Amino acid sequence: MTAFDEATAVRRRSDGLYDAAADPRFALIAPGGMIPPAVNGGALMATVLRAVLDCSAHPHPVATSANFLRVPRLAAAQVHVSWLKQGKTASIARATLVQDGQVVLDTTTTTGTVLTGPAAAGPGAAGPGTAGPGAAAAAGTAISEQLDWTAERPSLADIADCLDLGSWPGAVSADGSAGFPAHVEVLLDPACTGWRQDEPSGVPEMRGYVRLREARDPDALLLALAVDALPPVVFGLGATGWAPTVELTWHMRGVPVPGPLQVSARCRHVSGGWFDEEAEVWDAAGRLVAQSRQLARVGRGRLRVMANGSAAPSVSA
């Protein structure tokens, strides 16, 4: 079992009640510093989703909306699951991560079934930027499921040319225990790494590959991690410091094939200390398997100067 599976494990105590924990192995900052040791939001969502899927009649979290109410302590927690609707095509659950009687993470998840593999190739099969009946029509499925279209995939450097994000200050505690970067490999497109040399590009975007450092095929839970795994897009504008997510909604669009996940994220507006971040996740077969949009706070660290020597811009794109 990987560290990710251990860290996000739940144990059923009774109907709708599960024991869990906020695990330090997926903390962005190790305990003992000035910044709270916040666990990555994707890892917290994966923990809650384990409980939801354990008692769902459907296999996949088609849509999840998560509100991050508090920074969890690195300690035991409980997941409470209640079903708002249970249907043949989709069911809807409300699930909360609770510590000491306080809700840390409040989620609503719609479960259903998504495509489990690439559409069959051949006449009429749909590819990126095309539409057609594809394999669905051949299989005699419902008319609504015969439509198949995907926009073009964002450009991304070859994985061999990308740079390992590695560790960062505060990610390793005084006793040597390591958090998120020790367990998740994030390989960034070089075009998005100027901020690491104090030369941000001036463009609020991040692109790269995400996978566990341990061997494990991606699934719905790793998609929940991937949509929140890249550095904040505002680092490209010169922002620094922890950028806490306030709300995040993500959609599972397909079951990923084995291999690294390709993640592309961008921002449309930064103002008043708030920024949005929308991400797409593509699997190794070039299929769109997840989408997300979140609202977060800009970090309170210093502002870096742009690569061209200018100050951080006012942004709305």
pTM, whole model, 2 decimals?
0.89
The CA-CA-CA angle for residues 177, 179, 183, to 5°, reads 110
* Side-chain half-sphere CA neighbours of 20 within 13 A: 33
Residue 237: closest CA among 211, 276, 293, 264: 276
Residue 10: closest CA among 66, 49, 58: 49
- d(CA 72, CA 76) in angstroms, rounded, equals 10
Which residues, including other chains, have CB under 8 Å from residue 174's CB and lie 6 or more apart?
A: 30, 32
pLDDT at 312: 56
The predicted-structure confidence for 239-284, as pLDDT tens digits, reads as follows 998 899 999 999 999 999 999 999 999 999 999 999 999 999 999 9
Bridge-partner residues for 132, per DSSP? Answer: 148
User: What sign does the dihedral 252-256-261-263 (CA atoms) show?
Assistant: negative
The residue extents of the domains of the chain are 3-114+152-311
pLDDT along the chain (317 residues), means of 10: 97 98 89 73 98 98 98 96 97 98 98 78 41 47 80 95 85 74 95 94 97 97 98 96 95 97 98 98 97 96 72 54
Q: Which CATH class is domain 3-114+152-311?
A: mainly beta
Q: Tell me which H or E stretch contains 292.
A: strand 288-297
Helices (H), 101-151: 134-138
Tokens (6 digits) for 282: 């593509």
